[in-house]
Amino acid sequence: MVAHRFYIPPENCRGDLLPLDNREAHHALRVLRLKRGDKTVALDGAGGEFFCKVEIAARDSVSLRVTGKNFVPAASCSITLLVGIPRGKIIESIIQKSVELGARRIVPLLTGRVVSHLDGESAGYKREKWRQVAIEAIKQSGAAWLPEIEAPMSIPDFLARNAKFDLQIVGSLQKDHRHPGDVFREFENAAGHLPKTIAVWIGPEGDFTLPELKAIQNAGAQPITLGHLTLRVETAAVYCLSILNYELNP
């Protein structure tokens, strides 16, 4: 039986006795009903796995005694997923699946075809809420690395950062797209190695507008086909990340 997993920030994982925060302690005590001596695993989201036993299970606090440690190296390629925010709570499912598929950064995009107006306060709230979704995903899946979840931003705001990637791809419904395998082979033949950093752009419902797509392509993204069918946003994200997992782990 898999031991229950908890998230503890790296700065709180420096000793042999690891305290759970209020949220995690409540889950351990009130939901899982753990008691002293029960085996658990703590994840710090930065590659650290800590094999533990419950040492203290008081009324409102839980501490774990470390019995063993493991470090999981980061993947050889850092994947950034830039995805248009869909309507409703679908973005939460996208974040969850992206964690499972190894994304290291997720950038929710405010796009023309899904109108979302967020001030600084509401954007910060959503970012924290989505970060908690990612934390729950690493606990469920056992992923050792917690991806960075950015606050929602527009495409121009992201492009203004002038971020550098070895390879950028964008899922496209336009006719000038290529097969993703061809894009990878071309990069590998030219560079002599697989990409170390990749940006994956996925549009919202209805896809990116033509000006948005042009701006993304002008920044270096190559349009790829996602097959003959029109995919939902969450399906397209999973599709692309699955392709990357296949191409990066031959």
CA distances (Å), origin 133, targets 26, 50, 72, 107: 17, 21, 21, 14
pLDDT of residue 34: 92
Task: Give the domains, in start order, of the chain with CATH numbers.
Answer: 4-71 (2.40.240.20), 78-248 (3.40.1280.10)
Residues of the chain where predicted confidence (pLDDT) is lower than 70: 1, 115-121, 250
- Confidence (pLDDT) at 117: 61
**What does the block give as tokens for 226?**
């996602």
Residue 237: name the closest of 86, 34, 98 by CA.
98
Q: What is the pLDDT of residue 228?
A: 84
Q: What is the pLDDT of residues 177-233, one digit of tens each?
A: 899 999 999 999 999 999 999 999 999 988 899 999 999 999 999 999 988 888 999
Q: Other CB atoms closer than 10 Å to residue 234's CB: what's the count?
A: 20
